[in-house]
Homo-oligomer: A and B are copies of this chain.
Amino acid sequence: MPFVRIDWFPGRTLEQKRELVATLTPQIARIADCKPETIQFIFTDVTREDWGRNGKLFCDFYEYENDPK
């Protein structure tokens, strides 16, 4: 019954989400030894204005170029 929640920065396409669910589900089923139909995913976008680390919001944190997604 794995229920997978992924919080991330906005910007991933429908195709990326499709590929993630299609790719990760069989891996989780194999490794966690469960049936693919019991595995669910929820993706949640969190903007850089709403996510912070080390005392700063990511919208400020990444004023320079190496902006991890």
Which residues of A line the B interface, CB within 8 A? 1-9, 12, 14, 16-28, 31-44, 46, 49-60, 68-69
Contacts and interface: CB of A to CB of B under 8 A. Distances in A.
20 contacts: A1-B68, A2-B6, A5-B7, A6-B28, A8-B34, A16-B31, A17-B57, A20-B28, A20-B31, A20-B32, A21-B52, A22-B55, A32-B69, A34-B68, A37-B53, A39-B53, A40-B51, A41-B51, A43-B51, A44-B50
B20 A69 contact: no
A5 B51 CA distance: 9
A42 B53 contact: no
Chain A interface, DSSP helix/strand/loop, else mixed: mixed
